[in-house]
Amino acid sequence: MELYFSPLACSVATRIALYEAGVDARFVEVDPKTHTLLEDGSPFSRVTPLALVPALRTDDGEVLVENAAPTDVRGRERLQQWLCFIGTELHKLVFAPLLDASAPAGAREYALSKVAVRFDLLSRHLEGRDFLLERFSVADAYLVTVLSWAVATPIELGSWPVLAAYVARLRKRPSVAKALAIELPLYQAELARHAA
């Protein structure tokens, strides 16, 4: 199995899920600016047409994309509900414009205007709970990844103490801590590459 990832991008969630599942995988780094593989410079669009991480190549050669496409039969409806909420309401609506340096100011203001109601909802749900569902799931892997991006945006996560505590707690979970410890230096190397 191969995971195509970019450092600290949403593909962190897939890396965490692979660690949680104890799956042995090869991690193939994709440069998010050039959309090429670091190992040989080949275009990532040869793997997946939109050239978006994560992409997972299974041992039989199938390429799976989309964070919200896991196999998890228990609590499937609620899991799908949270994955869609994270993917559409947080990742793409709020964080994508805030993290995209080419987004116009109006897009960033619009994104910021969407934060409070969504974070309030999430905070109410997570109050008194360890995870989104009864146990750790891929939705938590995705949520901790996305909420961790807040430090690179004007969003003050501390204004939602329940969310700040959730992120701090999950970042200590071994699979999450390992994923972030591996990807942080890769992200710093990526920044240095593009600053040069």
Q: Candidates 16-24, 52-60, 102-110, 180-188 — which segment interacts with ligand GSH by CB under 6 A?
A: 52-60
* CA nearest to 102, candidates 51, 41, 163, 32: 32
Report yes or no: 142 and 89 within 8 Å, Cβ to Cβ: no
Q: Does 7 bind ligand GSH (CB under 6 A)?
A: no
- Minimal distance in Å, beta carbon 126 to ligand GSH? 21
Q: Does 36 bind ligand GSH (CB under 6 A)?
A: no
**Per rule CB under 6 A, count of chain residues that contact ligand GSH:** 11
- Cβ proximity to ligand GSH: between 6 and 137 the closer is 6
Q: Does 10 bind ligand GSH (CB under 6 A)?
A: yes
* Beta-sheet strand order (sheet of 26-31): 36-37, 26-31, 2-5, 55-57, 63-65
The SS3 assignment for 184 reads helix
Q: Please name the helix (run of DSSP H) or strand (run of DSSP E) that holds residue 82, with its range, or none.
A: helix 76-84
Q: Does 32 bind ligand GSH (CB under 6 A)?
A: yes
- Cβ proximity to ligand GSH: between 32 and 70 the closer is 32
Q: Does 53 bind ligand GSH (CB under 6 A)?
A: yes
Q: Does 16 bind ligand GSH (CB under 6 A)?
A: no
Strands (E), the chain: 2-5, 26-31, 36-37, 55-57, 63-65
Output the six-digit token pair for 117: 């109601």
Instruction: Please give the backbone phi and psi of residue 130, each rounded to the nearest 5 degrees, phi first.
Output: -85, -35
- Cβ proximity to ligand GSH: between 87 and 175 the closer is 87
Q: Candidates 49-57, 120-128, 159-167, 176-184 — which segment interacts with ligand GSH by CB under 6 A?
A: 49-57
Q: Please name the helix (run of DSSP H) or strand (run of DSSP E) that holds residue 87, with its range, or none.
A: none
- Cβ proximity to ligand GSH: between 31 and 162 the closer is 31
- Cβ proximity to ligand GSH: between 37 and 165 the closer is 37
In Å, how far from its chain's centre is CA 28?
16
Q: Which spans of this chain sit near ligand GSH (rule: CB under 6 A)?
A: 6, 9-10, 32, 52-54, 66-68, 87
